[in-house]
Amino acid sequence: MNAQRILRNVFGYKVFRSGQEKVINLVLQRQNVLAVMPTGAGKSLCYQIPALLNSGVTLVISPLISLMKDQIDSLHQNGIEAAALNSATPQEEVNPILRQAYEGKIKLLYMTPERLAMDYFRYQLNFIDVSLVAVDEAHCISQWGHDFRPAYRQILDGINSLKSKPNILALTATATPAVQDDIAKQLNIKKENYVVTSFVRPNLSFQVVNSSKDNNLYIYDYIKAHVNQAGIVYTNTRKRVGEITAYLQRKGISAASYHGGMATEDRDCIQDDFQFDRLQVIVATNAFGMGIDKSNVRFVIHANSARNIESYYQEAGRAGRDGDPCSAILLYHPGDLATYRWFIDQSDANDDYKKVQYRKLAAITQYANTSECLQQFIVRYFGQDCAPCGKCSNCTDKRKLVDVTKEAREIIGTVYELDGRFGKNIIAQAVTGSKSQKMKQIQAEKLQYFGSLKMRQNEALSLINYLIANGFLEVEGDQYPLVHVTNPGWDVLDGKRQVFRKGEIRPIAAKGEAES
Ligand code: ADP
Ligand code: ZN
């Protein structure tokens, strides 16, 4: 038997998808390999096929119990013996499973990283001929990633303690070059054994929509205009999930909630309804997604921005797995970022990890404010490049470019005068002439540009974000990011460079709106 035959005879597919064959060949040559392939690309086959060709057992380290269950069910359907060891495995089944693995009766053994860290399992695994260890969601090993899990740190130790000296296949859908190198370093993977397929999703149209705080109406209008299409609405809190669902249901949309606080049976039931098109829209927190394999999701709306580009791309990428056109819409409101910042502040992660997460938040803010092609922005974030997509909301923005040099200079001048000591909100207050206590405290009225920008404060903030996203200003610092002038920003101040932005500036006569 070879890989091609197994693909056809066991899994029933005709051809390999991009990257699969290369990964499988390297794995069969007993190399340690890193596979970075987007969600839905078919990463599982990359270890399932070697598992059938190898003489021993393939150990699959996966963080999610529900995902293991789905995979094992589908392996059984294909007539492949597989089992899982996790906290949900009944005690009386543990030893029989280990025995079956010992006797070579199962080809794939799924395990959480926590189990692999336990002495009992490490000891038992020594009796088993493990030929390959597949590490799924490998970005969880890296503090530079967006989903670090401490138990992942012990994986290499666990693997090294195995008598049978298996090779390793690390798999992930989202890893920046820094995260790729970190995974590789920790799992002993050579650079030439990276298999990174393209991050471009040609059938996805990305859109960023500046939203007001109450964006229910936008969501409703969108769904109403796409009645026969299945979609997912992601939001950031369980409370907001409930609100959006109730609103949509009241308006007659077939929508249901999904979040981690719901009973498993209810969640399964809703997932089933969605899978089989009995339900048009799922409104969910990030608890929804891993393991869903619905191919005809036509739109993914993020109602309250997203916490980082990695999760955004993974969640948005659940649209259009069938390859047909679909939309990924990010509703952006600066206030949402404050919520995500708060999530990080409150988490009990260590300071280094928090720092990385603050930077990832800054990157998604940049995404929401950039004038570049959105697909290109994301692909570059992951260390690749592509041509402008021609269909994202930036590529198709037909509004005229407006010269905003004067406004930009007022903002940049204020940043300069405040000498990099303050964040965006204070700058926006100063340049729009806010009467806040803080302004008195820092004697802002003495600034050259105090109150010179005739805009609402939130519009000023949006222009500041635009200037940051396009490199005229930069933010430094993590929990309390401070704004600084960059070299292009200096050029604007010196009158050597102009700034253009699509759209219209709406000057106001009335006094600035108080915000934050
Ligand atoms: P990932 O883990 O990369 O998100 P999966 O391994 O879950 O993706 O695969 C996604 C879907 O694609 C699954 O339904 C799988 O059976 C299917 N698939 C994988 N490889 C192929 C292939 N070569 N041809 C057709 N379908 C495939
Ligand atoms: Zn584009």
pLDDT of residue 291: 64
Residue 147's pLDDT is 87
Distance CA 107, CA 101 (A): 7
At residue 87, does pLDDT exceed 60? yes
Q: Which two tokens stand for residue 390?
A: 């021609």
List, in sequence order, the alpha helices (H) in 103-173.
Answer: 113-116, 119-125, 155-160
* pTM across the whole model: 0.84
Partners of 282 in the β-ladder: 232, 256
Q: Name the amino acid, one letter, at 313.
A: Y
* Structure confidence at residue 506 (pLDDT): 53
Please give the DSSP secondary-structure letter assigned to residue 325: -
- Which ligand is closest in space to the CA of residue 378? 2
Mean pLDDT for the stretch of residues 78-94: 93
pLDDT tens profile 136-172: 999 999 988 888 888 999 999 999 989 899 999 999 9
CA of residue 222 to ligand 1 center, whole Å = 30
Helices (H) and strands (E) in the chain, counts: 21, 17
Confidence of residue 387 (pLDDT cuts 50, 70, 90): very high
Averaged pLDDT for residues 433-447 = 92
Residue 349 is predicted with a pLDDT of 87
Would the pLDDT of 209 be above 70?
Answer: yes
Q: Is 42 in the pocket of ligand 1 (CB under 6 A)?
A: yes
Shortest-distance ligand to the CA of residue 35: 1
| Confidence band, pLDDT 50/70/90 cuts, at residue 504 | low
What distance separates the 2 farthest-apart alpha carbons in the chain?
Answer: 81
* 513 band by pLDDT with thresholds 50, 70 and 90: very low
| Residue 170: strand, helix, or coil | strand
SS3 471: coil
Give one DSSP letter per residue of 285-313, joined into a string.
-TTS-TT---TTEEEEEEBTB-S-HHHHH
Strand partners, 208: 330
Q: Which atom of ligand 1 is nearest to the CA of 74?
A: 16
Per the CB < 8 A criterion, the answer to whether 391 and 332 are in contact is no
The one-letter code for the residue type at 71 is Q
Residue whose CB lies within 8 A of the most ligand 1 atoms, among 44, 74, 275, for a mutation test? 44
Per-residue pLDDT for 113 more than 60?
yes
Helix, strand or coil, per DSSP, at residue 380: helix
Q: Is the CB of 293 under 6 A from ligand 1?
A: yes
Residue 514 has pLDDT above 50, yes or no: no
Contacts of 234 (CB under 8 A, 6+ apart): 284, 285, 286, 288, 300, 301, 302, 303, 306, 315
Q: With 0-12 CB in 10 A as exposed, 13-18 as middle and 19+ as buried, what is 165?
A: exposed
In this predicted structure, what is the pLDDT of residue 511?
Answer: 39
Residue 229's CB is within 10 A of a number of other CB atoms, namely 17
Integer Cα distance of 24 and 106 in angstroms: 20
